[in-house]
Structure 1
Amino acid sequence: MRPVRVMIWNEFIHERTDSKIASVYPHGIHHTIAQGIGEYGFQIGTATLEQPEHGLTEEVLRATDVLIWWGHLAHDQVSDEVVTRIQRRVLEGMGLIVLHSGHRSKIFQRLMGTSCDLKWREDAKRELLWVVNPAHPITQGIGEFIDLRPEEMYGEFFDIPAPDELVFISWFEGGEVFRSGCAYTRGLGKIFYFRPGHEAYPTYYHKQILLVIANAVRWAASAHGTAPTFGNTAPFVTF
């Protein structure tokens, strides 16, 4: 069997414009994630905002099993044409993993049909990321919870549709809770939103976080059902 083909997309602005963030991710968040999940045997590529077509041409997406998305400052700069292209591939069966502030990306909002807005606070305090669906394959090898510090707070209400499967819930020192691991299907595609990963904190070096992402890649790339047939059709049986 061929390896799962993963494309990691990052707008790659913070790391080039803010020295503090560059000190955490000197080669970009996409590069750190690629290195971190490289040991799991995936075929990995990366793409960034400033590339032609944001590095996500028809050919690239056709050769992608799972797209990982990180964005924050430049959601509005992502081409609507590219968003439509990604949406089409998800509906056809490409997996999509949306990380952290990617909740406000055009592609996640389009697939969810809501604002995907939330509360937030940059206080660099503790987060406990609790497994609430231990039977789900994304939680394999994680244990009961992940202890993260420092992290940014995201709080409810999170304006998303009710997840098909809720995998993680976060608790923060300020008392907030948040649905931090949400799994969906759209068409033949599997989508996973995963909350941790503020750009100023070294979250994407954390072994358990990287394991969750690797598990999510395998889940999102796993076998799909038969593509449905639409439109006018002849009867299957005649009597």
Structure 2
Amino acid sequence: MINVTIWNEFVHEKIHDAVKAVYPNGIHTALAQGIQQDGFAIETATLEEPEHGLTEEVLNRTDVLIWWGHMAHDKVSDDIVARVKQRVLDGMGLVVLHSGHFSKIFKALMGTSCDLKWREAEEQEIIWNVNPSHPIAEGIGEKIILDHEEMYGEYFDIPTPDEIVFISNFEGGEVFRSGCTFRRGRGKIFYFRPGHETHPTYFHPGVLKVIANGVKWAAPAPGEALRFGHSPQPVREFAKGSVV
């Protein structure tokens, strides 16, 4: 069983009618319903909950955290960001969606500005599967077509990804590294671009399939915790240049 926590600001849906019309119960609810399947135990958390819903208890039982944020990045407590970052370093998976690229947690883990070009427009996005043997691309085919999405364009100021799984192109001619993986400590991170709040992107079966695949890929692998710091001299017997 993979324990998944979906975090969403849940701000747009309360104050913007255009967003409320698409996601009346919040983006987190649409995601929870959309990726639900055998083997996933899903809970949600939002900005206005105590400790943003990301208490130590919640994070300690979370295998993979999904993050969507946009207009309230600055409202997220630095203490909670540090808590989430440590959990990722300790092995918790992190799936960052769309405008979560500018979240405090993603920037803290990337160490760069994570800035990009953007254009809020009604234009087609083609998400090309450029790494079809990758587990995140399983069952996707050669591309996903979204008729209406916001444009993100290069340069995307992130470290060189460990792997690029998807690349998008848009009607204006821009391209974007829209599916990237990273490893930090024992944790695995997947960034996936689509998901503008005024479009029903999180009802698209291909997009939901990718996110679910990302959760499975990012789930922690079994193993001992990483050990750092002073290491005492091991007790060994030496025999003329060789270790016995």
* Shared fold, TM over 0.5: yes
- Does structure 2 conserve the Cα–Cα contact (< 8 Å) formed by 1:93 and 1:224? no
Alignment length (residue pairs) = 237
- Does structure 2 conserve the Cα–Cα contact (< 8 Å) formed by 1:130 and 1:170? yes
* Alpha-carbon distance in structure 2 between the residues aligned to 1:166 and 1:40: 28
1:230 is displaced (CA, Å) by 1.5
Q: Hey, what does 1:219 align to over in structure 2? A: 217
* Alpha-carbon distance in structure 2 between the residues aligned to 1:206 and 1:212: 10
**Stretch deviating more after TM superposition (199-208 or 39-48):** 39-48
* Alpha-carbon distance in structure 2 between the residues aligned to 1:224 and 1:212: 23
Change (3 A) 1:112 1:224: farther
1:40 is displaced (CA, Å) by 4.3
**Residues 133-157 of structure 1: CA distance to partner in whole angstroms, max 9, x if unpaired?**
1111000000001001100000000
User: CA-atom RMSD, angstroms?
Assistant: 1.0
Q: Hey, what does 2:158 align to over in structure 1? A: 160
Which of residues 121, 124, 137 in structure 1 aligns to 2:122? Answer: 124
* Alpha-carbon distance in structure 2 between the residues aligned to 1:183 and 1:135: 14
1:225 is displaced (CA, Å) by 4.7
Q: Does 1:92 align with 2:71?
A: no
**Residues 118-140 of structure 1: CA distance to partner in whole angstroms, max 9, x if unpaired?**
00001111010001111110000
1:20 is displaced (CA, Å) by 1.1
Change (3 A) 1:40 1:138: farther
* Alpha-carbon distance in structure 1 between the residues aligned to 2:166 and 2:65: 20
Q: Hey, what does 1:51 align to over in structure 2? A: 49
**Stretch deviating more after TM superposition (161-170 or 219-228):** 219-228
- Does structure 2 conserve the Cα–Cα contact (< 8 Å) formed by 1:93 and 1:187? yes
Which of residues 139, 142, 145 in structure 1 aligns to 2:143? Answer: 145
Query: Structure 2: which 5+ residue stretches go unaligned?
Result: 239-244
Q: Hey, what does 1:39 align to over in structure 2? A: 37
Structure (1 or 2) with the larger CA radius of gyration: 2
1:235 is displaced (CA, Å) by 2.8
Q: TM-score, normalised by structure 2?
A: 0.95
Could you tell me the percent identity over the aligned residues?
A: 66
**Residues 162-201 of structure 1: CA distance to partner in whole angstroms, max 9, x if unpaired?**
0001110001010000000010000000000000000000
Secondary structure in 1 aligned to 2:194?
Answer: coil
1:238 is displaced (CA, Å) by 4.0
Q: TM-score, normalised by structure 1?
A: 0.97
Which of residues 14, 20, 44 in structure 2 aligns to 1:22? Answer: 20
- The aligned amino acid for 1:176 is E
**Residues 75-100 of structure 1: CA distance to partner in whole angstroms, max 9, x if unpaired?**
00000000000000000000000000
